Amino acid sequence: MSIINCTPDSFSDGGASFAVEDAVRNSLEHVSAGADILDIGGMSTRPGATEVSVETEIGRTVPVIRELRERHHLDCHISIDTFRAATAEAAVGAGATIVNDVSGGEADEAMLATVARLDVPYVLMHMRGNPRTMSQLTSYQDGDVVAGVRRELAVKVQRALCAGIKRWNLIIDPGFGFAKDLAGNCQLLDSLNSLQGVSSSEDQDCLQGFPILVGLSRKQFLAKLLTLPPPGSTTTTTPPPPLPPPDQRLVPTIVASTIAIRNGAHLIRAHDTKIIKEVINTVDGIRSFNSS
């Protein structure tokens, strides 16, 4: 899943695809590089991001989708990255085939019913609060991030199913970087294969059978890992070194994506399509020799 940010304030590319023609060109380049899905968004969800109007969001995304479908006859999947039902409906009407909702149906009470009616795949992500408040909501019961994410995702899944979304249309996203601190993100990544496990006391927590999408690309927690002192070191740096900018986080993105794939991720959301496609193909190639 390749990221197309139709925003002027994206944390990763600073608006490189803000204009329609730039977004279309960027989208076609990602497809040529191996993208299976284009994830088109018109509002940043980075920590502290300010919301834009639904009209602005639709105006940024729908013309891009329509141009890709009608002028370029693009036949790959297009995902609309939004937590608003009106935007989702407009995007699907223009040719989007997936809805990717960072709020998991909590930001807009009409979203779940809208997705059920549209009958398209729905990415349901774990997040607490909103982009302005989520960094203060990183504490989990007994410090068990995986159990907390699993439990809270299970509640969202049940709400989606009760709203009429078909089980086979649901994709879950643990929400790396959303309401998780550095330790929580790392624990979740390292134990991703237990996300679909069953709690011994609460069978309803089971998420087995749902595809897992992860968004790790250029995330801030990966940059923080690059500034940590070596294990066992007693030396501290004051002040701490500056974080590498987003476009210098490729190596930790590759490592984290590899770990995620090995731990059960089915879909990787990425900026660097060609390289991450090669990562996926390499891991799958290694696995193929152990399939028997």
Instruction: Please identify every residue annotated as catalytic.
Output: 219, 269
**Radius of gyration, alpha carbons of the chain:** 19
Phi, psi (5° rounding) for residue 232? Answer: 85, -5
DSSP-assigned beta bridge partners for residue 50: none
For the chain, the helix, strand and coil percentages under 3-state DSSP, each to the nearest 5: 45, 10, 45
Amino acid at 163: A
Measure Cα distances from 88 to 43, 264, 282 in Å.
13, 28, 34
Dihedral over Cα of 81, 206, 189, 129: its sign: positive
H or E segment at 122?
Answer: strand 122-125
First to last CA, the chain: 29
